[in-house]
Amino acid sequence: MRRVSLAIDNVNYDLVVDNRESLWETMNFQLGLANSNLGCDRAQCGACTVLVDGKAVNGCTVLSARLGRGQKIATVAGLPTGPGVAGLHPVQRAFWLDGGFQCGICTRGFIMSTVQLLGAIPKPTTAQIAEGLAGNICRCGEYAKIFTAVNTAAAELRGEKVTHLASPVIVGVAGTAEAAPGAAGVSKEFQFDKPMGTIEDYDPFEQALKKRDGILGVSGNERSVTVKWDPAKLDEAKVRAILVDLGHAAR
């Protein structure tokens, strides 16, 4: 065991970690920080990417015991500067409004790798984007829109005016879900009141939720679920009622 002080998104966390514990495990199991996703847990998919002193690393593989010497750990949760879409970091906004995601499992990792890439290369070529994001895999195959999002974010960071592909769904201030004009659906992340035992418990729940009328999309894990619904058929209260009905009340 080792006592460390982890500087995550400019907050210091003093704690004792097992020498074998990954940063992802410490963040999730000790600190309750769901700031990165776990995909492969073996340094192959990049879903868990965070920045350590500005460099993209796989949180599933880097050991927490080696990160207690003042290294600055940056996660996707530390990027926004204010509420709502306007408060998002340009890279986050571009992924959101250009649709550079589907299930979202890979997205936090892609965003952090993009932040690193654009910090080093403000106007990357397509080949440089491919190289910069080579450690991230999107199983949904959203690469075309991901590349669009990277280019849009790069332009915004260079101070240029940008137009996003579309804004089908907006999550408003303080997590209030609202539909944009012409919205195809409304999306919101819910945290389970009581986390499931393991990720394996999540799959049957997701399958059942997807079958409910008005549900357009579902993604999540044992701690939270992001639900996209048809506002013509459901509202947030009705979605919450469905979650309760399926045995997983959420806030």
Tell me which residues touch ligand FES (CB under 6 A): 38-41, 43-48, 58, 60, 101-107, 138-140, 142
Q: How far apart are CA 40 and CA 154, in angstroms?
A: 29
Q: How far is the CB of 108 from ligand FES (least distance, A)?
A: 10
Q: Indicate the residue among 18 and 41 with the shorter CB distance to ligand FES.
A: 41
> In terms of C-beta density within 10 A (0-12 exposed, 13-18 middle, 19 or more buried), how is residue 160 classed?
exposed
Q: How far is the CB of 35 from ligand FES (least distance, A)?
A: 13
Q: What is the chain's Cα-based Rg?
A: 18
Q: Indicate the residue among 7 and 112 with the shorter CB distance to ligand FES.
A: 112
Q: Are the CB atoms for 138 and 146 separated by under 8 Å?
A: yes
Q: How far is the CB of 56 from ligand FES (least distance, A)?
A: 11
If we measure between CA atoms, which residue out of 146, 9, 158, 151 comes closest to residue 80? 9
Q: Indicate the residue among 44 and 176 with the shorter CB distance to ligand FES.
A: 44
Q: Indicate the residue among 164 and 240 with the shorter CB distance to ligand FES.
A: 164
Q: How far is the CB of 63 from ligand FES (least distance, A)?
A: 13
Q: Indicate the residue among 38 and 111 with the shorter CB distance to ligand FES.
A: 38
Q: Are the CB atoms for 97 and 165 separated by under 8 Å?
A: yes
Q: How far apart are CA 220 and CA 206, in angstroms?
A: 8
Q: Are the CB atoms for 71 and 53 separated by under 8 Å?
A: yes
Q: Which alpha helices (H) appear in the chain, and where do they start and end?
A: 23-25, 90-97, 107-120, 126-132, 143-157, 202-210, 236-245
Q: How far is the CB of 238 from ligand FES (least distance, A)?
A: 26
